[in-house]
Amino acid sequence: MPLSLLLLPLLAASFLRLPPPAGAACAPKRCGNLTIAYPFWLEEPGQPPCGSPSFQLRCKGTQALLSRSVFGLYQVVRVFTENSSFIAVDNNLPLDDGCLGRWFNISLGLGLSPFVISKQNRELLVLYNCTERQRSTPPGFLRMPCANESFIHHGGEYGAHHDYPGNLPTACRLSVVPVLGFPGIDVYVGSMKRGFLLEWTVPSDNCPRCVASGGQCRYRNDGTGFSCNCSGAVYPDECGELRKLTDSATINFPIQMGFFLWISKEIAGILLKNAGASDGFSEQNKCPRS
């Protein structure tokens, strides 16, 4: 048999090979002590997004960091999927010595994300960058051991500073830091290291429904546009539906089928040609009838 005939099926198979299912890429991953699973997902080079951009994490050493947070330095420490909340540590804060030249309110760093600061947090009130030297420490505050004029107050429930009983110095800037609690009256750095609780609204997609049907959640390259990947086939909501979505495999299918038909035609032509040649050879070598 000619070598070209043997190579044609292999060539056809190479063109018709379907891309591997993307399910494994979106399986739970580990980063340090944290297992990253839906709705959070780990960004990886060359891999499509596995969830909403707000839940995108990057692994730096042993820290799972929210990619879309202030300077990407909000560390996710523990996730409570059952009540849609997680503990985060803001690594922008002065976690070493407690002295920072410029503080800011963490709520501003959350931007348009679906996360809200839980009311279960307590709050640290920080007065800093006072333009006038404070002759006396403001009532309820402690003077911080920093070069600039700064003071700290262990407050109540997060948000209670709006009802602070007393006048805050107008010559100082105010920053509010949510914390889980206070290990000691003057150990505010430890409070910040323990982190704070964030809550999220339930993501508006059908990922749990997809997973329950045996599929893997999938998103477009911008992290939006939910679909369900079921052993290489893509469905809008869950596995087993009659209507499939168009993906890379189905987009290329007409091209692949056209190439397959062309290959089949070429193979059939070669087989017929060889068959004809074989018949002619046998006719020439038959013994003449008497």
Q: How far apart, in whole angstroms, are the C-alpha atoms of residue 61 and residue 49?
A: 21
- Of the segments 5-14, 21-30, 129-138, 232-241, which one has the largest average pLDDT value? 232-241
Which carries the bigger pLDDT value, residue 258 or residue 145? Answer: 145
Q: Report the percent of the chain where pLDDT is more than 70.
A: 64
pLDDT in tens, 220-260: 655 556 778 888 788 888 888 665 655 444 434 444 444 44
Q: How far apart, in whole angstroms, are the C-alpha atoms of residue 158 and residue 138?
A: 20
Band the pLDDT of 111: cuts 50, 70, 90: low
Q: How many CB atoms lie within 10 A of CB 20?
A: 9
Mean pLDDT of the chain: 74
Provide mean pLDDT across the span 187-203: 86
Query: Sheet of 56-60: strands edge to edge?
Result: 41-42, 56-60, 63-66, 74-80, 85-90, 196-200, 115-117
Say what the pLDDT of residue 65 is.
96
pLDDT in tens, 270-280: 555 655 544 54
**Does pLDDT of 155 surpass 60?**
yes
Band the pLDDT of 46: cuts 50, 70, 90: confident
Nearest to 196 by CA among 107, 81, 288: 107
Residue carrying structure tokens 């407690």: 98
Provide mean pLDDT across the span 55-61: 94
Which carries the bigger pLDDT value, residue 16 or residue 137? Answer: 137
Within 8 A by CB and 6+ apart from 248, the residues are 19
Provide mean pLDDT across the span 12-26: 44
Provide mean pLDDT across the span 33-49: 89
Band the pLDDT of 71: cuts 50, 70, 90: confident
**Does pLDDT of 213 surpass 80?**
yes
Q: How far apart, in whole angstroms, are the C-alpha atoms of residue 125 and residue 141?
A: 8
**Does pLDDT of 211 surpass 60?**
yes
Say what the pLDDT of residue 30 is.
96
Three-state DSSP class for residue 212 = helix
Decide if 91 contacts 106 (C-beta within 8 A). Answer: no
Provide mean pLDDT across the span 69-79: 91
pLDDT in tens, 112-122: 678 889 999 99
Nearest to 65 by CA among 96, 34, 37: 34
Nearest to 147 by CA among 164, 128, 160: 128
Q: How many CB atoms lie within 10 A of CB 171?
A: 13
Say what the pLDDT of residue 169 is.
77
Decide if 41 contacts 26 (C-beta within 8 A). Answer: yes
Provide mean pLDDT across the span 197-211: 75
Say what the pLDDT of residue 247 is.
44
Say what the pLDDT of residue 280 is.
47
**Does pLDDT of 58 surpass 50?**
yes
**Does pLDDT of 76 surpass 90?**
yes
CA separation, residue 107 to residues 103, 104, 123, 126 (Å): 12, 9, 12, 14
